[in-house]
Amino acid sequence: AMEAIGDRTDVVSVGAVGSIPFGGGAPDEGVVDAETGAARAGIYHVLPGYFETAQIPLLRGHLPTWADIDGAADIAVIPESTARALFGSSEPIGATFSSNRGRRLTVVGIVGEVTHTLAGESRPQAYVIPGAATRGMWVVARVRNHNDQTLAALRRQLGAMRPGMPVTATWWSDSIGSVAAMRSPRFQTLVLGSFAALGLGLTALGVFGLV
């Protein structure tokens, strides 16, 4: 599917990730503390091209390649904040950590920071090649023309590859915008005001019924 999307003339780059930032999805795996078993970071599955498409910069080391995928390499790419959380001041490139699925992962690259949610502080994250238990991935494409025709064409192409499977296609900017709107004070005031009005209405109805 990624090759077919990448071959389109209106697509600049394409990649895939288990859960897109601001998409509401949970990490695919987790980093656990070797001694206590406590969760320390969320792990997201990625395929080559994701960081370039999402414009997440590589700071040092290297990103996953298709050769790594073919070889089933257990490698990880992490932001600097995760490197500090897991390894302190030690050199992260070449260091290893374990996932809650028993995978032993070796850090091969450091990338820029990524925010996955606006709900308070984001848990440290790591990005790894998909494992055997990958539940699904989002195809992420950077296109030349930001219009409804391009989005509809991509949706049709993806749908044709998997007949009968529902396909969700949306602009990433719209997803981020909707999450930001829901986190705004005006939206929260509107929601709280609506529940207050509903409660007042139920109270009035109850009093009327009693009378």
pLDDT at 126: 92
Which pLDDT does position 49 carry in this prediction?
92
Spatial separation of the C-alpha atoms in residues 130 and 191, rounded to whole Å: 39
- For residue 42, the one-letter residue type is G
Using DSSP bridges, classify how beta strands 58-61 and 11-17 pair: parallel, antiparallel or unpaired.
unpaired
For residues 104 and 35, give the distance between their C-alpha atoms in angstroms, rounded to a whole number: 15
Task: Give pTM, 2 decimals.
Answer: 0.72
pLDDT, residue 44, reads 92
Q: Which pLDDT value is given to residue 181?
A: 43
Which helix (H) or strand (E) element contains residue 68? helix 66-70
Q: Which residues of the chain register pLDDT less than 50?
A: 177-184, 187-188, 191, 195, 198, 211
Q: What is the per-residue pLDDT across 35-65, written as a single tens digit (0 to 9) for each?
A: 777 778 889 999 999 999 888 999 999 999 9
Report DSSP letters for 173-205, one per residue.
HHHHHHHHHHHSHHHHHHHHHHHHHHHHHHHHH
Token readout for 1 is 């599917």
